[in-house]
Amino acid sequence: MTGRIDTAASVTLTGALSFLEKGGKKHVCYNIYIMKKNCWQKLNRPILALAPMAGITDSSFRLLCKKFGADIVYTEMVSAAGLCYGGQKTLSYLKFNKKEQPVILQLFGSKPEQFAKAAQIVEQAGFTGIDINFGCPAKKVVQNESGATLMNNLDKACKIIEATCNATSLPVSIKMRNSKGTTTAYDFVNKVKDLPIAAIMIHGRSFEQGFSGDASWDQIKKVRKIYKGILLANGGIYSPQAARQVISKLDIDGLGLAQGVQGRPWLFKEIKDLLKKETWSLSRDRVSSYDWPKIKKIILEHAKLTMKGKNNLIEMRKHLLWYVKNQPNAKELRQKLVKVETISDLKLILKNS
């Protein structure tokens, strides 16, 4: 891997910016990394991944989830076009702490040539792997023929994956929906299965469901019959019990956790603890050992990590509201937490709670 900068703090953008400024071109045969043992193959099973979530899986949250046992973490989705154009906001997504490794940067977009250039920039920045988003249902994404829209354009999806793989020696993974319209995850994977895809994460909900309703695993079962690589299930996993049930009934390599860890990053540890038990009860093992005093400490730790990269806690407010969910005085706390800007503000609210 090129461009890695091991510092005590974080990986810098020097390598990526230098590559971008030079307008360099790099062509790597995508079969090179198949012969090597990539980051996915080195992980113990079942793999517990922090799935990509826009506006949520920033560096501070990724670090926190790693502490609680996440085996691999994804960034927020990053625009391939934005990286190519060198926009400062987009380039800021390339910053990460080496303690997050292995960390996967997820790209979204619609043009194969932009994915190729973006992949080279991502590799220069020192990431462990690249993921391609084929599942985002957000209106502004699908209107630009990106995200889940590409499930209905299999030829273009193939070109995007191939262009990305050809441009980098990093392992390339993909994430998709259970279905979009008449196109299923099985249809999609059947089309791209001959490309060197290192891992596939399938969200068990359809595009039409968005982020609500029950997840369905029928497509994952079908995909497993034609794809023997790393396969992860994602969607609707909110408890250790649900995680264990999904792992036990599906032939998968692991899970991608998303909404379930919002306000509950310790879910990774709870799942691993439950998986260690030979016998378990759906009712007996449901009680969490994370009481309010413990949660308050985690909140402050999250806030301190956030302040290392930002000047205030405004962007963390959504996390704060998730943390207090189900607390007896949640309504009162939410009214105060939505105004938090500094660590001092937060400490005072928590002290009096």
The confidence score (pLDDT) of residue 12 equals 41
Q: What is the mean pLDDT of residues 155-181?
A: 97
How many CB atoms are located within 10 Å of the residue 210 CB?
11
**Model confidence at 10: pLDDT above 80:** no
The confidence score (pLDDT) of residue 33 equals 41
How large a percentage of the chain has pLDDT more than 70?
A: 87
> Does 320 or 25 have the greater pLDDT score?
320
With beta carbons less than 8 A apart as the criterion, state whether 337 and 317 touch: yes
CA distance 56 to 76: 7
pTM: 0.89
Q: What is the mean pLDDT of residues 283-308?
A: 87
The mean pLDDT value of the chain amounts to 89
Q: What is the mean pLDDT of residues 204-219?
A: 88
**Model confidence at 27: pLDDT above 70:** no
With beta carbons less than 8 A apart as the criterion, state whether 151 and 14 touch: no
* Reduced 3-state DSSP string for the chain: CCCCCCCCCCECCHHHHHHHHHCCCCCCCCCCCCCCCCHHHHCCCCEEEECCCCCCCCHHHHHHHHHCCCCEEEEEEEEHHHHHHCCHHHHHHHCECHHHCCEEEEEECCCHHHHHHHHHHHHHHCCCEEEEEECCCCHHHHCCCCHHHHHHCHHHHHHHHHHHHHHCCCCEEEEEECEECCEEHHHHHHHHCCCCEEEEEEECCCCCCCCCCCCCCHHHHHHHHHCCCEEEEECCCCCHHHHHHHHHHCCCCEEEECHHHCCCCCHHHHHHHHHCCCCCCCCHHHCCCCCHHHHHHHHHHHHHHHHCCCCCCHHHHHHHHHHCCCCCCHHHHHHHHCCCCCHHHHHHHHHCC
Question: Six-digit token pair at 52?
Answer: 């990509």
> Does 139 or 22 have the greater pLDDT score?
139
CA distance 195 to 187: 14
**Model confidence at 17: pLDDT above 90:** no
Q: What is the mean pLDDT of residues 137-156?
A: 93
Q: How confident is the model at residue 287 (pLDDT cuts 50, 70, 90)?
A: low
Q: How confident is the model at residue 8 (pLDDT cuts 50, 70, 90)?
A: very low
Q: What is the mean pLDDT of residues 168-177?
A: 97
**Model confidence at 334: pLDDT above 60:** yes
**Model confidence at 282: pLDDT above 80:** no
Question: Six-digit token pair at 74?
Answer: 């994804």
What is the per-residue pLDDT across 183-197, written as a single tens digit (0 to 9) for each? 999 999 999 999 999
The confidence score (pLDDT) of residue 57 equals 98
Residue partners of 42: CB distance under 8 A and separation at least 6 = none
Please give the C-alpha separations between residue 247 and each of 84, 206, 255, 263, 299, in angstroms, as whole numbers.
39, 20, 8, 23, 29
Q: How confident is the model at residue 21 (pLDDT cuts 50, 70, 90)?
A: low
What is the per-residue pLDDT across 36-79, written as a single tens digit (0 to 9) for each? 468 999 999 999 999 999 999 999 999 999 999 999 999 999 99
The confidence score (pLDDT) of residue 126 equals 96
Residue 136 annotated as catalytic: yes
What is the per-residue pLDDT across 223-264, written as a single tens digit (0 to 9) for each? 999 999 999 999 999 999 999 999 999 999 999 999 999 999
What is the per-residue pLDDT across 87-141, written as a single tens digit (0 to 9) for each? 899 999 999 999 999 999 999 999 999 999 999 999 999 999 999 999 999 999 9
The confidence score (pLDDT) of residue 264 equals 97
Q: How confident is the model at residue 310 (pLDDT cuts 50, 70, 90)?
A: confident
Q: How confident is the model at residue 86 (pLDDT cuts 50, 70, 90)?
A: very high
Which of 65, 84, 136, 165 is catalytic? The answer is: 136
